Amino acid sequence: MVLQFLLLILGLLLLVKGADWLVDGASVLAKKYKVSDLAIGLTIVAFGTSAPELVVNSVAASGGYPDIVFGNVIGSNNFNLFIILGIAGIITPLSVQSSSVWKEIPFSLLGAIILLLMVNNFFAGSQPNLSMVEGIGLLLCFGAFLYYVFTQLKSEPSTEVIETKPYSTIKIGLLIFGGLAGLVLGGKLVVDNAVEIAQNLGVSEKIIGLTIIAAGTSLPELATSVVASLKKNNDIAIGNIIGSNIFNIFLILGVSSIIKPLDYQLSFNTDLYILMGGTVFLFLAMFTGKRKSLDRWEAAILLLVYLAYTSYLVSMEI
């Protein structure tokens, strides 16, 4: 089993490095064609930090591991919200723009609510699942989010400058394709070895997905938001997390369920309630203490809630 743990770690490293190469290469390519800095940040970088979840879930869905699919997305969103924002907010209080307070955060909450209704068959069906038709519905919601992003770009042109390195066309291509290769190989290693570890330890795939895989695939978001908070770039620190959570539900679960309809364990509802409660707490935090800001004590509450809940999950498996 030591070999499986080592291969799992190798897979996670490949996911992180693959996402890094993909974002780096795509950003330089976009700059060469004069795509705006804000468009790069909201699309390429946001997609790049969610790419590990997308690859892992695509592999898990095609292999018939729905618990890993749901565990990874719901677990990653909770990890993003409670751990990453908790750490970033403790480093420095995070000021939030009005558009994030009134649009992006509520849109993220809407995503969790729609997912809860879909998987509990509020709309149709008898067996708890996420069907192909519902997956298409999630992708349509993702399209609506992208439309909103691009209307924001037109109304609020960016003046921020993102520095890029003078890469040759060949190097840009190598970064993009090397990043994609790292993501695919890393995703395969993570899923295969996580399932084998779970089986050997007698731990459910759900717990593996909610903890180890979720934390591992969220490493790009963790690195991005912590560095942003250290540099006092609050918009990136909090925008990266909210955007990633929206990507995860609408894009990644949408794609996963189109690959193969996903059976759903009702026990995941508790994790969705935690996600929804944390998102509501984040929204309310904008009106307590300093307005439109996640203060240190509020960030500490997020962090402590996640640690307590994860400890409870693990103790239930032992």
Q: Is 48 left (phi over 0), alpha (psi -120 to 50) or beta?
A: alpha
Q: Which residues pair with 294 in a beta bridge?
A: 94
Q: What is the CATH number of the domain that holds 65?
A: 1.20.1420.30
Give the CA radius of gyration of the chain.
Answer: 19
| Angle separating helix axes 66-78 and 268-285, nearest 10 degrees | 20
Name the DSSP letter for residue 100. I
Distance (Å, whole) CA 275 – CA 271: 6
CA 74 to chain centroid? 9
pLDDT digits (tens, 9 = 90+) for 293-305: 888 999 999 999 9
CA 67 to chain centroid? 17
Backbone phi, psi, residue 129, to 5°: -165, 175
In which domain, by residue range, is 220 found? Answer: 2-317
Q: Is 202 left (phi over 0), alpha (psi -120 to 50) or beta?
A: left
Mean pLDDT taken over the chain:
82
- Total domains present in the chain: 1
pLDDT digits (tens, 9 = 90+) for 185-225: 887 788 788 878 877 878 787 888 888 788 877 777 777 67
Lowest mean pLDDT among 48-52, 118-122, 155-159, 178-182: 155-159
Tell me if 96 sits within 8 A of 238, measured CB to CB.
yes
Mean pLDDT, rounded, for 20-49? 66
Q: Measuring CA to CA, how many Å separate 112 from each of 15, 16, 45, 57, 177?
A: 25, 25, 22, 17, 33
% the chain with pLDDT above 90: 30
**Which pLDDT belongs to residue 161?**
45
**Which pLDDT belongs to residue 166?**
66
